[in-house]
Chains A and B, each alone.
Chain A
Amino acid sequence: GEDVEQSLFLSVREGDSSVINCTYTDSSSTYLYWYKQEPGAGLQLLTYIFSNMDMKQDQRLTVLLNKKDKHLSLRIADTQTGDSAIYFCAERPILTGGGNKLTFGTGTQLKVEL
């Protein structure tokens, strides 16, 4: 079955770039998502990429996809204290058998220090 892995913690200084990594194991055709969860809140969609893309940029966010290694990363430029949160990677196989189910990683806790 599907498996999505992330490191649990990342600490960066304010103003630096953050890079959050994710690896997945399922089929070559898939959608991959990044969600952000602030304390006490639900998951907020940040961005997503289809596996026929290598890169997607949206303001301070850059998503890179290495299909060969099944490795996904989220880069946050000029990281701010408001970026402190848990970041989840999630995978959706193209043939999900109904229901648009996602498999989530364990989440990466990003801590931004002054």
Chain B
Amino acid sequence: NAGVTQTPKFQVLKTGQSMTLQCAQDMNHNSMYWYRQDPGMGLRLIYYSASEGTTDKGEVPNGYNVSRLNKREFSLRLESAAPSQTSVYFCASSDPGNPPSPQHFGDGTRLSIL
């Protein structure tokens, strides 16, 4: 029972390089999320997808793009990486029913931008 799977687990990039972080969930959840975690700042929402075919900005979307490829997969792209994007990135999924299911998280991608 994999839950939410993120790849890669670690990545080092040079400033200006691009990359895509992958996320897949096997719980048939409608909603998916991308967060970044920085020391002393908790988790901040970058983008989310309430349902397949929709994406919306969160609290800190600048410098990122997302694609909801299908119900299972939600990717996060950095077009031109900057040192300020050094962080741990988490993907999560949930079902916004009544009651809503809690968000389930992947193990994270640790990204360093040099």
Q: Which residues of A contact B (CB under 8 A)?
A: 4, 8, 31, 33, 35, 41-45, 48, 50, 88, 92, 96, 98-102, 104-107
Q: Separation in Å of the A33 CB from the closest CB of chain B?
A: 6
Give chain B's interface residue range (CB within 8 Å of chain A): 20 to 34
Which chain A positions have C-beta within 8 A of B58?
Answer: 101
Check A42 against B102 for contact (C-beta < 8 Å). Answer: no
Which chain A positions have C-beta within 8 A of B107?
Answer: 41-42
- Please measure, in the bound complex, the distance between the C-alpha atom of A4 and the C-alpha atom of B43, giving whole angstroms: 11
Mind listing 20 A-B residue pairs with CB under 8 Å? A31-B100, A33-B103, A42-B105, A42-B107, A43-B90, A45-B103, A92-B100, A98-B56, A99-B48, A99-B56, A100-B31, A100-B50, A101-B45, A101-B48, A101-B58, A102-B103, A104-B42, A104-B44, A106-B40, A107-B42
Check B102 against A33 for contact (C-beta < 8 Å). Answer: yes
Q: Which residues of B contact A (CB under 8 A)?
A: 4, 31, 33, 35, 40-45, 48-50, 56, 58, 90, 92, 94-96, 99-108
Which chain B positions have C-beta within 8 A of A44?
Answer: 105
Using a Cβ cutoff of 8 Å, how many contacts connect chains A and B?
A: 62
The answer to whether A99 and B31 touch (CB under 8 A), given A31-B99, A104-B43, A106-B40, is yes
